[in-house]
Amino acid sequence: MPGIDPDKVPHHVAIIMDGNGRWAKARGLPRTAGHHAGVERVREAVRTAREAGIANLTLFAFSSENWNRPKEEVQDLMGLLRFFIRRDLAELHKQNVRVRVIGCRETIQSDIRPLLIEAEERTVANTGLVLAIAFNYGARDELTRAMRAIAVGVAEGRIDPATITEADIDCHLDTAAMPDPDLVIRTSGEQRLSNFLLWQSAYSEFVFMPCYWPDFDRAAFHEALAEYGRRNRRFGALAAPGLAVGQ
């Protein structure tokens, strides 16, 4: 890929897809138009990730706080999710993409839950890009649910609290068996995590793009990857001369 060292491609990229509403407002369009345009960028982001050799791509699609948005907007977002799965699942499966869904499922609408399960089950054996959709997701909620599960294990005598490690916490998170993100990208110019992958992004690199999500095209993705490739990741230690990113 032009301008990107193949030895410095991140294994896991997580993206906070922000700015759909502002993109639409700047064009005198309803917020829903921004969400529809954003879906097209999801498709392009998946293609770009596969081309770049990225193994894991996590997209922050709908947060647990987004239910507080106007009812009409939430309904439109749910409709877009249904449309995306019904239209794109076959193509993702054909491309050997494995779909995972992270987030709390208990409060998801009953007609959407089976679609999410279908997406996961249909692609579970695929060995290509892992596409994780963060839906009804909040990192504090994720950590709370993980702590509850560990607490149950302690109460039942299956877990010794004195031996709990970071790895034990990892395996109780929604992202269990996925590597932590090497790179977290946020569009729209905002510079915060907004309750996204708080535990997992402890040593992630962050790239904040000024463009709104509907404008985050292939070139913008390449720009973010190139910036990542210029970083010297030390993980709290001194980097050895010539050490490649991610090593």
Q: How far is CA 7 from the centre of its chain?
A: 22
Instruction: Name the residue among 132, 17, 24, 16 with its Cα closest to residue 73.
Output: 24
**Lookup: tokens for 82:** 């249904």
Residue 160 annotated as binding?
Answer: no
**Lookup: tokens for 57:** 């791509």
Residue 20 annotated as binding?
Answer: yes
Is 66 an annotated catalytic residue?
yes
Would you state the torsion angle of the CA atoms of residues 188, 190, 196, 200, taken in this order, to the nearest 10 degrees? 110
Residue 233 annotated as binding?
Answer: no
Residue 69 annotated as binding?
Answer: yes
Residue 23 annotated as binding?
Answer: yes
Sign of CA dihedral 163, 165, 167, 172: positive
Is 18 an annotated catalytic residue?
yes
Residue 28 annotated as binding?
Answer: no
Residue 67 annotated as binding?
Answer: yes
Residue 193 annotated as binding?
Answer: yes
Residue 110 annotated as binding?
Answer: no
Question: Around 125, how many Cα atoms within 13 Å sit in the side-chain half-sphere?
Answer: 2
- Alpha-carbon distance of 6 to 212, in angstroms, equals 27
Residue 205 annotated as binding?
Answer: yes
Question: Pick the catalytic residue: 18, 88, 174, 182?
Answer: 18
Question: Pick the catalytic residue: 5, 7, 56, 66?
Answer: 66
Residue 35 annotated as binding?
Answer: yes
Instruction: Give the amino acid at 142.
Output: E
- Alpha-carbon distance of 54 to 128, in angstroms, equals 9
**Lookup: tokens for 202:** 């402890």
Binding residues, as ranges, are: 18-23, 31, 35, 63-65, 67, 69, 186, 192-194, 205
Residues of the binding site for Mg(2+): 18, 205
By annotation, the residues acting in catalysis are 18, 66
Specify binding-site residues for substrate.
19-23, 31, 35, 63-65, 67, 69, 186, 192-194
